[in-house]
A and B are shown apart, each in its own frame.
Chain A
Amino acid sequence: MKLFVHNFMSSRFLKNVTVGYPLELVVKQFVEKDIEFDRENTIVMLNKIQYEALVVAAAAVNQADRIPAEQPGKWEDLSDDQLKQFHHILMNIDVVDGELICPETKTVFPIRDGIPNMLKVDGEK
């Protein structure tokens, strides 16, 4: 699961959960790749993300220092070097093993082999 995906997911489908966002993220294992940077595509993606959740994701892989704590101004005004840091968090990091956790009920959704399981099958810890 690329960290970008975390930004789109919520646990609002659970009973008694009102916001369910952002999901807490525990990363036990991840791989870092070097995926080609494309300025335009990165800006399009950044326009869709929720910044607070992105910071949560970056912190989960101990890379919060790559990006500012507060959302910068217009994405279009950022330099390529700045955008590359965001691209790295969103696209280059693939979570292999970990957990997504509902912030309200603390329900744990395991990530195994890079695939988050939002059905929560018993027996998978």
Chain B
Amino acid sequence: MVPVLVVFSQSHVDFRIPEFEAICSMLSIRVENMSSINTENHMFVLHFESHLDVTKLLSRSILIKFAISLSVEAQSYEQLFQELKNKPEVIENYDVPDESFALRFFAIGRKKKLDSIERIKMFLEAVQFNHAPICLISPVNEFYLVEEYDHPTDENPRKIFFGKLLGEGRSELKTKYNLRERCYIGNTTMDPELSFIQANLAMVQPGNLVFDPFVGTGGLILPAAEFGGYVMGTEINYQTARAKGRSSRQGVGERHESESIRANFEQYHTEDKLLSIVIADSSKHAIWSSNAKFDVIVADPPYGVREKARKTVKNKKSDANEDYIQYQQKEDYDLEAAFCDLLNLAAMTLVMNGRVSFWYPVILEK
């Protein structure tokens, strides 16, 4: 097993362990001491079977900032330098003229009054690189000096880590998919970071068929497509599905012609993954034939004031022709019924071991 220092983002800590476990399970990554991850600390030394496994994990994780192949771990700089002296290969293996390097400093638990340049100078005085040229923009090898503090006011770190960067997580995706620049959004489009975390919890894999029964403007299936899934969704609201009517953006007025769910996929170059949007009532499961099987269902069922849950009902007017069924009339759809329907749909249309992932509104007691 190889020791790896994994540094997590400090946002959405409640999803940290579920996301980590889901990715490891999906990609068959074994971590010896997975149970040591908690939500109070933000970095952990974890034992992986290989660095390749770490790279795979990083290729999906939204909540891991970066991971370092841990070379040395110490309680003080004195001890750190001694350990590096005992293991000269840690530096020597990379101290060659044709491999540039960078050294970066990172501290967790204390930010104030830390002089990173001073730290790097001190380190490079004690541990010398004699051949490798420095390159801060695109180094071949990137080393990290990491300090962990117990309290923000502590003078000295509890631990110091040194190692080579294995890679970064995928937090850049939340920026790439930001709602401000997205072509088409609705009133309740899911936060991009959460939508990617959901795609991980749902274990979307390349080639999977992914379905969203309340697709809206496509916010939950865009991440699935980014991760290689083939996606489709149903939407009961004609205006939403066709991107007609008033924009959800303040002061914009009518939606522009260029806005559409497809345009969102084109914006992120995943339009090949979009199978179709269908205008349909997701409470009518018989719209799916018996061979219709999805690998994953993701959903954010409508609730509350901003997006009312709706389903169609038969026109109750007495003069309605019995043979001619009308679907115009819609009625409010109570929350419990909407979730029961979703689970029934999942039971009917998911493959064996398929996953359904959905948001459920709760009121937390203070």
Contact A7 to B289, CB < 8 A, known contacts A1-B276, A114-B276, A118-B279: yes
Contact A118 to B280, CB < 8 A, known contacts A5-B232, A7-B289, A10-B289: yes
A5 touches B325 (CB 8 A): no
Shortest distance between the CB of B172 and any CB in chain A (Å): 24
B292 touches A8 (CB 8 A): yes
Q: Which of B206, B262, B325 contacts A41 (CB 8 A)?
A: B206
Shortest distance between the CB of A92 and any CB in chain B (Å): 9
Shortest distance between the CB of B186 and any CB in chain A (Å): 16
Which listed segment binds A: B36-44, B74-82, B89-97, B235-243?
B235-243
B289 touches A8 (CB 8 A): yes
Instruction: Please list 28 pairs of residues, one from A and one from B, whose beta carbons are closer than 8 Å in the complex, sorted by A's number.
Output: A2-B275, A4-B230, A5-B232, A5-B275, A7-B289, A8-B292, A10-B288, A12-B287, A12-B289, A13-B284, A13-B285, A15-B325, A33-B272, A36-B272, A41-B207, A44-B207, A113-B242, A114-B262, A114-B276, A117-B278, A117-B279, A118-B278, A118-B280, A119-B238, A119-B280, A119-B312, A121-B238, A122-B328
Contact A48 to B280, CB < 8 A, known contacts A10-B288, A13-B287: no
Contacts of B278 in A (CB 8 A): 1, 5, 9, 115-118
B291 touches A7 (CB 8 A): yes
Q: Which of B230, B287, B327 contacts A10 (CB 8 A)?
A: B287
Bound CA span A35–B207, Å = 13
A9 touches B287 (CB 8 A): yes
Shortest distance between the CB of A51 and any CB in chain B (Å): 10
Q: Mark B193-232, 1 if CB is under 8 A from A, else 0.
A: 0000000000000110100000000000000000000101
The B-contacting residues of A in range 87-125, CB under 8 angstroms, are 91, 107, 112-122
Contacts of A1 in B (CB 8 A): 275-276, 278
| Residue of chain A at shortest CB distance from B273 | A35
- Judge if B260 is at the interface, Cβ distance under 8 Å: yes
Shortest distance between the CB of A106 and any CB in chain B (Å): 11
The B-contacting residues of A in range 53-88, CB under 8 angstroms, are 53
- Judge if A29 is at the interface, Cβ distance under 8 Å: no
Contact residues of B with A, CB < 8 Å? Answer: 206-207, 209, 230, 232, 234, 236, 238, 241-242, 260, 262, 272, 275-281, 284-289, 291-293, 312, 325-328
Contacts of A32 in B (CB 8 A): none
With A1-B278, A38-B207, A120-B327 already in contact, 13 other A-B pairs whose C-beta atoms are closer than 8 Å = A8-B288, A10-B288, A11-B287, A13-B286, A50-B291, A113-B242, A113-B260, A115-B276, A116-B276, A116-B278, A117-B238, A119-B238, A119-B327
A119 touches B236 (CB 8 A): yes
Contacts of B209 in A (CB 8 A): 45, 48
Contacts of B230 in A (CB 8 A): 4, 41, 45
| Residue of chain B at shortest CB distance from A118 | B280
Bound CA span A52–B283, Å = 27
Main secondary structure of the interface of A (DSSP, over half): loop
Shortest distance between the CB of A125 and any CB in chain B (Å): 15
Bound CA span A73–B113, Å = 71
Bound CA span A8–B325, Å = 22
Bound CA span A36–B206, Å = 13
Bound CA span A60–B338, Å = 36
| Residue of chain A at shortest CB distance from B283 | A13
A119 touches B291 (CB 8 A): no
Contact A49 to B291, CB < 8 A, known contacts A115-B242, A119-B236, A119-B238: yes
Contacts of B289 in A (CB 8 A): 7-10, 12, 21-22, 50, 53
Q: Which of A7, A35, A118 contacts B287 (CB 8 A)?
A: A118
A119 touches B279 (CB 8 A): yes
Contacts of A20 in B (CB 8 A): 286
Shortest distance between the CB of B36 and any CB in chain A (Å): 36
A9 touches B288 (CB 8 A): yes
